[in-house]
């Protein structure tokens, strides 16, 4: 669906769901995933519907991914780095990390 306007110049290696891939240095994680043909970064916790980057500027939160083991990172706001581990998020599992760490105000694992 997406095609680069200019050819790639400097590729680096990252892993996406444990698969080693080459991405363009300077791309955001969301842009790199789109360039790889991965339109959906996550699935919703309730219905499992696929969601993919939409705004590319940190507003819609449809680009949430796990980066280097840390869940709920906005892929459009993080630049790729060599060796980065990117994982697509699926359903409610991604919320467990946030709730158990108490990072969401007023929540705890007992409130799930
Ligand atoms: S694409 Fe909208 S917040 Fe990242």
Closest-lying ligand 1 atom to the alpha carbon of residue 76 = 4
Q: Tell me the C-alpha distance between 46 and 7, whole Å.
A: 39
Whether residue 56 contacts residue 41, with contact meaning beta carbons closer than 8 Å, is answered with no
pLDDT at 91: 81
Cβ-proximal residues to 11 (8 Å cutoff; 6+ apart), any chain: 22, 23, 24, 25
Q: Structure pTM?
A: 0.81
Fold that domain 11-103 belongs to in CATH? Ubiquitin-like (UB roll) (3.10.20)
Which whole-number Å values give the CA distances from 55 to 31, 35, 45, 51, 104, in the listed order?
A: 11, 16, 20, 12, 23
pLDDT exceeds 90 at position 108: no
Cβ burial, residue 56 (10 Å; 0-12/13-18/19+): middle
pLDDT exceeds 50 at position 111: no
Task: Give the helix/strand (H/E) hosting 99.
Answer: helix 93-100
Distance 29 CA to ligand 1 centre (A): 11
pLDDT average, residue stretch 58-69? 95
Q: Which residues line ligand 1 (CB under 6 A)?
A: 30, 53-56, 58-63, 74, 76
Per domain, the residue ranges of the chain are 11-103
pLDDT average, residue stretch 69-86? 96
pLDDT average, residue stretch 63-92? 94
99: confidence class by pLDDT, cuts 50, 70, 90: low
pLDDT at 52: 95
């Amino acid at each position: 669906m997406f095609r680069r306007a200019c050819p790639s110049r400097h590729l680096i290696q990252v892993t996406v769901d444990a698969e080693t891939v080459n991405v363009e240095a300077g791309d955001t994680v969301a842009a790199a995933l789109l360039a790889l043909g991965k339109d959906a970064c996550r699935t919703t916790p309730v219905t499992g519907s696929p969601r993919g980057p939409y705004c590319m500027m940190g507003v819609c939160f449809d680009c949430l991914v796990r980066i280097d083991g840390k869940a709920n990172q906005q892929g459009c706001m993080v630049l790729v780095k060599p060796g980065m581990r990117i994982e697509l998020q699926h359903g409610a599992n991604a919320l467990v990390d946030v709730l158990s760490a108490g990072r969401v105000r007023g929540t705890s694992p007992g409130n799930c």
